[in-house]
Amino acid sequence: MSCGLSVVPVECLQRGESGTIVDISGDDRTVHRLHEMGIRCGCQITLKRNDSPILVNIDGRDLLLRCGQAAMILVSVGTTTPLIS
């Protein structure tokens, strides 16, 4: 149905799907830590494996991530195909 840009938590990406981080919300300390490690808005993020923890590639670097309840990374995906057919 919907086309264009959609924003989803990183865990909800498809395997191999990429997007841009648009928001990181959650508890200040965790978010600050993520920022320091270079995980921040504007980064290109690709989901490589969606187990827990998820394996992502952020700007060319592989990271294991499990934010749990502490933080949520929101990603905007430029979908060109309809989400629901």
Chain positions contacting other proteins, by CB under 8 A: 28-40, 48-49, 51-53, 55, 59-71
Amino acid, res. 15: R
First and final C-alpha spacing in the chain: 6
3 vs 29, which CB is nearer to other proteins? 29
Residue 76 Cβ vs other proteins, minimum distance, rounded to whole Å: 19
Q: Which is nearer to other proteins, 5 or 66 (CB)?
A: 66
Which is closer to other proteins, CB of 67 or CB of 77?
A: 67
Nearest 5°: the CA angle 38, 41, 4 is 140
* Residue 55 tokens, joined: 């394996």
Minimum distance, C-beta of residue 32 to other proteins, in the bound complex (Å)? 5
